[in-house]
């Protein structure tokens, strides 16, 4: 009898705990739905970084020539990770509202919805990063060296940060649908405040006499992540006689990754707490 | 009694009224002061203890809080007051196929839905064939669900839900969907669960079903437990509450400040003359008279029940406003009665248009008669019977397999 009771409790727990199996099943669903009716399916996502590389090489290296050596590589090393952050945050924001039917009718841990959005964006990102590295292996050998270890802390920080954003925004979006629209604008501004299209040294030099303002600029977790990605893949602090990246060693990048990571963890705690607090009312508000 | 699997203590659920809820930041700022002041209690002080293996029928008028209670017990809604404790895996059949994705195939949806309901992939694999067989969808399981008929969709939803081997089954009127054979299958499945010692709580409007399969009946009204005990008594309590029972003495207790049903009149819309019997295909009209305080408004519902107590259709009016003399009349018209012979019953109900609370309800047991000879059945069906050429012995054997012919 006690055993039966325990088994029943275990089965009850399986319905309220976050299970990896449920997460993978949801990510798999999102991927399947996205590519269901397209002939080339997944190839589109993979081709995406290649097309960007081709266009940017044509525009910036051949036509405009902004003087930054191998600019497309610099751009892509920051842009892909930004895309991950952007996709995870935006699809995470709509994840609870978008699954209203499920939330109103079925008992399951709601938190898997934003988490699976992050997982969905993560799968895309890792595949695209893989494609980028393969292409670079052909045209940009500089990328391959010990500096690639910077990818590990950089990806860890952006994963935590994106999860925090998805949790926070998805919960708030249930009550205030403005969040989704607001975030779209914020992310656009945020994109330009992050050194993706321009080298971070431009900002450093412009703010040379206001070092605290530059530190504030660097405290943006995405700036820490993007510059670390650039150091890992683009590699060169100085290229073609121009300073591109702020430091040659890893210390600078690790420091700002640490700052960004701390901010991300605080935000994650806030997101988790907010989600837990608001989720009881989800079924009612939808 | 075995240890309780569901314990609800003093459960109350308050909903904020819709027009008071802020859905954007702007509204939130404007409504800030009053937003949490008003509410509607869908459940009040509900305490229930349901032991393992019990089958409980949950009945009550529309808007009495049955569905809300199921949602609170299944953990979808959080109670405003009180606590809910549940032991075991819950399968809540609140809506069949909730969470199906139309773009995915039946197979993919089974795995997805089972994962959401708490099953591991291996467990799903083990019962996959049973699920498909139960839903009778073998040939279509790899089709996209968006191409399924509504019957197929519901069958698959039910099949997944009952194959997660639940300890507790919460059923919300899902037995009302699907055809007869599917309903029978559902009832068989419920009987199987009963034998296995599963706890079942189900909401139904089919009052005759309650004494038949439940060991206990709970009547809810305005969010409160009115009766908890014998299922036959529970059904009778509700009938008298709805004014559909033999004894209607309880009706005098209706508060005078609400609209009430005053009368009804069945007639032929062509002649305007009263009529008690119609033919299939004929037109029919019903006038429903209301009385109450001038200016009050109420929505009228007429539910038509056919022979053998089968609910046939429901007609809902827009809110009617009572005139200065405190009366109003709503006319319902039926263009063509169905070709079903026998005695029809009408259930009339008056409801608050905003909250859906029932003001008054009455059932007219033998409202009218659809005439015809019922000795050959109640349904008029166009049919034929012809002698066909008999094939040879050998050929017949071969054809039997092909055409699904079986020996009598």
Q: pLDDT, tens digit, for every residue of B299-321? A: 888 888 777 667 788 888 888 88
Contacts of A29 in chain B (CB under 8 A): 101, 104, 108, 112
For an interface test with A, which of B7, B79, B89 has the most A Cβ atoms less than 10 Å from its Cβ?
B89
Contacts of B23 in chain A (CB under 8 A): 175-177
Please indicate whether, in this complex, the C-beta atoms of A8 and B28 are within 8 angstroms of each other: no
Please indicate whether, in this complex, the C-beta atoms of B88 and A11 are within 8 angstroms of each other: yes
What local confidence, expressed as pLDDT, does residue B253 receive? 46
- Give the CA angle between residues B387, B388, B391 to the nearest 5°: 135
What local confidence, expressed as pLDDT, does residue B17 receive? 66
* Euclidean distance between CA atoms B210 and B190, whole angstroms: 13
* Euclidean distance between CA atoms B217 and B194, whole angstroms: 16
Distance from CA of B86 to the nearest CA of A (A): 8
What local confidence, expressed as pLDDT, does residue B252 receive? 42
What chain A residue is nearest to B23 in terms of C-alpha separation? A176
Q: How many CB atoms lie within 10 A of CB B159?
A: 25
What local confidence, expressed as pLDDT, does residue B41 receive? 86
Which of B58, B79, B94, B62 lies closest to B15, judged by CA? B79
What chain A residue is nearest to B103 in terms of C-alpha separation? A33
Instruction: Point out the residue among A8, A106, A176 whose CB comes nearest to the CB of B98.
Output: A106
What's the half-sphere exposure (Cβ side, CA atoms, 13 Å) at A286? 22
What local confidence, expressed as pLDDT, does residue A194 receive? 96
Contacts of B193 (CB under 8 A, 6+ apart): B162, B166, B169, B200
Do the bridges between strand B168-172 and strand B327-334 make them parallel or antiparallel, or are there none, so unpaired? unpaired
pLDDT tens across the length of chain A (286 residues): 567 677 777 777 777 778 888 899 899 888 888 887 776 777 877 888 888 888 888 887 777 776 778 888 999 999 999 999 999 999 999 999 998 888 888 888 999 999 999 999 999 999 999 999 998 898 888 889 889 999 999 999 999 999 999 999 999 999 888 999 999 999 999 999 999 989 999 999 999 899 999 999 999 999 999 999 999 999 888 887 788 898 888 999 999 999 999 999 999 999 999 999 998 888 888 7
What chain A residue is nearest to B89 in terms of C-alpha separation? A12
Please indicate whether, in this complex, the C-beta atoms of B103 and A36 are within 8 angstroms of each other: yes
Q: Is B360 exposed, middle or buried (0-12, 13-18, 19+ CB in 10 A)?
A: buried
What local confidence, expressed as pLDDT, does residue B407 receive? 61
For an interface test with A, which of B52, B116, B124, B203 has the most A Cβ atoms less than 10 Å from its Cβ?
B116
For an interface test with B, which of A38, A107, A169 has the most B Cβ atoms less than 10 Å from its Cβ?
A107
B63-100 CB burial, b ≥16 within 10 A, e <16: bbbbbbbbbbbbbbbebbebebebbbbbbbbbbbbbbb
Task: Walk across the sheet containing B284-291 and list its strands.
Answer: B260-267, B284-291, B327-334
Residue B82 tokens read as 């009180």
Q: Are A133 and A235 in contact (CB under 8 A)?
A: no
Please indicate whether, in this complex, the C-beta atoms of B90 and A12 are within 8 angstroms of each other: yes
* Euclidean distance between CA atoms A92 and B6, whole angstroms: 34
What local confidence, expressed as pLDDT, does residue B157 receive? 87
The one-character DSSP state at A221 is H
Residue identified by tokens 């909250």 is B355
* Euclidean distance between CA atoms A176 and A184, whole angstroms: 14
Which of B221, B243, B238 lies closest to B349, judged by CA? B243
Chain A, 107 to 126: residues with Cβ < 8 Å from chain B are 107-108
Q: Are B353 and B253 in contact (CB under 8 A)?
A: no
CATH number of B4-241: 3.40.50.300
The beta-strand segments (E) located in B104-184 are 168-172
Secondary element (H or E) of residue A206: helix A200-206
Interface of B with A (CB under 8 A): 3, 5, 15, 21-26, 28, 71, 74-78, 86-90, 92, 94-95, 98-99, 101, 103-104, 108, 111-112, 115-121, 144, 167
Q: How many CB atoms lie within 10 A of CB B302?
A: 20
* Euclidean distance between CA atoms B306 and B303, whole angstroms: 10
Q: Is B40 exposed, middle or buried (0-12, 13-18, 19+ CB in 10 A)?
A: middle
Instruction: Point out the residue among B78, B88, B121 whose CB comes nearest to the CB of A12.
Output: B88
Q: Which residues of chain B have pLDDT under 70?
A: 1-2, 17-38, 174-178, 243-256, 308-309, 356, 365-366, 372-375, 391-408
Q: Are A154 and A225 in contact (CB under 8 A)?
A: yes
CB-based contact, A184 to chain B, within 8 Å = no
Which of B85, B71, B70, B75 lies closest to B10, judged by CA? B85
Q: Where are the domains of chain B?
A: 4-241, 260-376
Contacts of B46 (CB under 8 A, 6+ apart): B8, B10, B11, B12, B65, B69, B82, B220, B223, B224, B225
Secondary element (H or E) of residue A251: helix A251-278
CB-based contact, A38 to chain B, within 8 Å = no
Contacts of A36 in chain B (CB under 8 A): 103-104, 144
Distance from CA of A33 to the nearest CA of B (A): 6
Instruction: Point out the residue among B74, B78, B118 whose CB comes nearest to the CB of A11.
Output: B118
What chain B residue is nearest to A7 in terms of C-alpha separation? B88
Which of B261, B285, B223 lies closest to B40, judged by CA? B223
Q: Is A280 exposed, middle or buried (0-12, 13-18, 19+ CB in 10 A)?
A: middle
Residue A22 tokens read as 């449920």
Instruction: Point out the residue among B24, B74, B101 whose CB comes nearest to the CB of A107.
Output: B74
- Give the CA angle between residues B292, B207, B149 to the nearest 5°: 100
Q: Which CATH superfamily is domain B260-376 in?
A: Immunoglobulins (2.60.40.10)
- Number of residue pairs across A and B with CB atoms under 8 Å? 110
What chain B residue is nearest to A177 in terms of C-alpha separation? B24
Please indicate whether, in this complex, the C-beta atoms of B117 and A108 are within 8 angstroms of each other: yes
pTM: 0.71
Residue A273 tokens read as 């707490």
- Helix axis angle for A112-139 and A20-35, nearest 10°, is 60
The beta-strand segments (E) located in B52-161 are 55-59, 81-86, 90-93
Please indicate whether, in this complex, the C-beta atoms of A15 and B90 are within 8 angstroms of each other: yes
What chain B residue is nearest to A278 in terms of C-alpha separation? B78
Distance from CA of A147 to the nearest CA of B (A): 40
The percent of chain A in helix, strand and coil, each rounded to the nearest 5, is 80, 0, 20
* pLDDT above 90 coverage of chain A, percent: 55
* Euclidean distance between CA atoms B316 and B95, whole angstroms: 23
CB-based contact, A16 to chain B, within 8 Å = yes
Contacts of B111 in chain A (CB under 8 A): 25
Distance from CA of A51 to the nearest CA of B (A): 28
For an interface test with B, which of A2, A5, A13, A15 has the most B Cβ atoms less than 10 Å from its Cβ?
A15
Q: Are B91 and B167 in contact (CB under 8 A)?
A: no
* Euclidean distance between CA atoms B319 and B328, whole angstroms: 11
Distance from CA of A25 to the nearest CA of B (A): 6
φ, ψ (nearest 5 deg) of residue B142: -100, 15
Residue B296 tokens read as 């009050």
Q: Are B181 and B32 in contact (CB under 8 A)?
A: no
Distance from CA of B78 to the nearest CA of A (A): 5
Q: Are B53 and B197 in contact (CB under 8 A)?
A: yes
Q: Are B261 and B362 in contact (CB under 8 A)?
A: yes
* Euclidean distance between CA atoms A93 and A270, whole angstroms: 15
């Amino acid at each position: 009898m006690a055993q039966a009771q325990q088994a029943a409790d275990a089965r009850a727990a399986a319905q309220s705990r976050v299970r990896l199996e449920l997460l993978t099943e949801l990510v798999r669903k999102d991927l399947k739905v996205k590519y269901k009716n397209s002939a080339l399916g997944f190839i589109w996502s993979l081709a995406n970084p290649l097309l960007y590389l081709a266009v940017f090489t044509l525009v910036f290296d051949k036509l405009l020539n902004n003087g930054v050596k191998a600019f497309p590589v610099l751009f892509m090393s920051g842009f892909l990770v930004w895309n991950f952050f952007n996709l995870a945050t935006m699809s995470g924001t709509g994840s609870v509202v978008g699954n209203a039917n499920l939330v109103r009718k079925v008992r399951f841990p709601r938190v898997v919805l934003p988490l699976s959005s992050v997982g969905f964006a993560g799968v895309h990102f890792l595949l695209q990063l893989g494609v980028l590295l393969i292409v670079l292996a052909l045209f940009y050998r500089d990328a391959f060296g010990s500096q690639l270890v910077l990818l590990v802390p950089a990806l860890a920080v952006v994963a935590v940060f994106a999860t925090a954003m998805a949790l926070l925004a998805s919960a708030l979006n249930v009550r205030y649908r403005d969040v989704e629209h607001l975030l779209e604008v914020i992310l656009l501004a945020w994109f330009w405040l992050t050194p993706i299209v321009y080298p971070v040294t431009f900002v450093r030099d412009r703010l040379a006499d206001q070092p605290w303002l530059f530190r504030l600029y660097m405290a943006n977790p995405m700036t820490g992540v993007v510059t670390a990605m650039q150091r890992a893949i683009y590699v060169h602090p100085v290229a073609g006689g121009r300073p591109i990246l702020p430091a040659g060693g890893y210390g600078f990048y690790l420091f700002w990754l640490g700052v960004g990571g701390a901010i991300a963890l605080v935000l994650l705690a806030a997101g988790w707490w907010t989600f837990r607090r608001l989720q009881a009312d989800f079924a009612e508000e939808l | 009694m075995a240890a309780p699997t569901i314990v609800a203590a003093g459960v109350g659920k308050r909903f904020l009224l819709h027009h008071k809820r802020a859905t954007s930041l702007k509204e939130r700022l404007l409504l800030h002061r009053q937003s949490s002041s008003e509410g509607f209690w869908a459940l009040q002080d509900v305490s229930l203890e349901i032991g393992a293996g019990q089958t409980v029928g949950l009945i009550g008028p529309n808007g009495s809080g049955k569905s809300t209670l199921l949602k609170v017990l299944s953990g979808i809604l959080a109670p405003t007051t009180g606590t809910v404790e549940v032991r075991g895996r819950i399968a809540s059949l609140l809506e069949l196929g909730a969470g199906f994705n139309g773009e995915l195939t039946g197979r993919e949806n089974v795995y997805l839905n089972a994962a959401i309901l708490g099953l591991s992939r291996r467990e799903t694999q083990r019962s996959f064939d049973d699920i498909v067989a139960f839903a009778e969808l073998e040939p279509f399981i790899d089709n996209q669900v968006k191409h399924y008929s509504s019957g197929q969709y519901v069958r698959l939803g039910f099949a997944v839900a009952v194959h997660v081997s639940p300890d507790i089954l919460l059923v919300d009127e899902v037995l009302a969907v699907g055809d007869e054979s599917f309903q029978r299958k559902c009832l068989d499945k419920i009987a199987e669960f009963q034998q296995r010692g599963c706890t079942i709580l189900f909401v139904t409007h089919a009052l005759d079903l309650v004494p038949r399969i439940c060991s206990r009946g709970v009547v809810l009204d305005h969010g409160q437990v009115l009766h908890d005990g014998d299922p036959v008594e529970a059904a009778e309590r509700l009938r008298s509450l709805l004014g559909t029972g033999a004894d209607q003495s309880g009706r005098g207790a209706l508060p005078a400040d609400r609209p009430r049903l005053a009368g009804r009149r069945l007639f032929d819309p062509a002649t305007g003359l009263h009529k008690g019997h119609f033919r299939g295909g004929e037109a029919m009209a019903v006038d429903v008279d209301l009385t109450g305080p001038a200016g009050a408004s109420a929505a009228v519902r007429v539910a038509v029940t056919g022979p053998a107590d089968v609910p046939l259709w429901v007609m809902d009016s827009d809110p009617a406003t009572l005139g200065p003399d405190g009366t109003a009349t709503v006319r319902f018209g039926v263009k063509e009665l169905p070709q079903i012979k026998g005695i029809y019953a009408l259930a009339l109900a008056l409801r608050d248009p905003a909250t859906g609370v029932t003001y008054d309800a009455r059932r007219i047991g033998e409202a009218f008669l659809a005439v015809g000879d019922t000795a050959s059945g109640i349904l008029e069906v166009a049919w034929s019977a012809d002698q066909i050429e008999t094939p040879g012995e050998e050929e017949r054997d071969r054809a039997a397999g092909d055409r699904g012919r079986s020996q009598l």
